[in-house]
Amino acid sequence: MPEAVQATRPVILVVEDEAPLLALVGEALHEAGFAVEAAASTAEVLLRADRPPPDLALLDVLMDGAWGSAVGRWLRQRYGPAVPIVVMSGNPALAERVGHGLAARAILPKPFRVAELVRTVQVALGPPGSEHEPPGEPETSAARVGGVSPPPDHRRVRCCPARLAALFAARALLPPLLARQAGVDVQTVQRSLEGQPVHWRTVTRLAAALGVDPAELVAPEEPA
């Protein structure tokens, strides 16, 4: 592929020491339209020190016997907060602690579906706090590559409180935890639970954190 075309793709640094999973994640993200830099060890991460920063780092919590938080701290020190981090782990409590310490944009529980992976990366690439757009302004976000398109009018929508409550119960989640995973504030999650209007971008972030399609969260329109 020509370099000029490749350069337009968001670069995802994938840090995972399980070779089969690293290959699967890399292939899935490549197929979704991302450029992928793979690192199978802490040493491989350090070797990229002189390269431009990635657009996002997808980080396993445990790397070759070391805590993933050490790799995450190095990424933070090297590139600062401009590079969003997504934490992967099969241990929810551990992922929550590490993700909170790194100010991770999202947490991706293992095992995950390819669709969940792609959605989570797409949402995490968006700017933090973008759910706070003024009510009168249209939402300008769009899925960057290969994902769910926003509604054609970029409208605000209402989530279905019963559906959200069921997902919370099934995953043993509390609003503060989901807020951190989705990259929104607790008040936004509470508004969603109450069926108040929120931006479509907020719905996509909540859906990525919950591992569902955004359309599943939207309340059906009432007949006129």
Structure tokens at 146: 């290969």
- State the architecture of 8-124 in CATH terms: 3-Layer(aba) Sandwich (3.40)
Domains 8-124 and 151-217 share a fold: no
Q: Is the pLDDT of residue 37 over 90?
A: yes
Enumerate the domain spans of the chain: 8-124, 151-217
Q: Is the pLDDT of residue 65 over 60?
A: no
Q: What does the radius of gyration of the chain's CA atoms come to, in whole angstroms?
A: 17
Q: How far apart are the first and last CA of the chain?
A: 51
Let me know: does 35 contact 9? Beta carbons within 8 Å. Answer: yes
CATH assignment of 151-217?
1.10.260.40
pLDDT single digits (tens) 166-219: 887 777 667 777 777 777 777 888 888 888 888 887 888 888 878 788 888 888
Q: pLDDT category, 27, cuts 50, 70, 90?
A: very high
Q: pLDDT category, 38, cuts 50, 70, 90?
A: very high
Mean pLDDT of the 44-66 span:
82
pLDDT single digits (tens) 83-111: 999 998 888 777 788 888 888 888 888 88
> Cβ contacts of residue 120 below 8 Å, gap of 6+?
86, 106, 108, 112, 208, 209
Mean pLDDT of the 2-9 span:
52
Measured CA to CA, the distance from residue 155 to residue 133 in angstroms comes to 12
> Cβ contacts of residue 88 below 8 Å, gap of 6+?
16, 58, 59, 60, 61, 95, 107, 108, 109, 110, 112
Mean pLDDT of the 63-83 span:
76
Q: Is the peptide bond before 111 cis (omega within 30 degrees of 0)?
A: yes
Let me know: does 150 contact 204? Beta carbons within 8 Å. Answer: yes
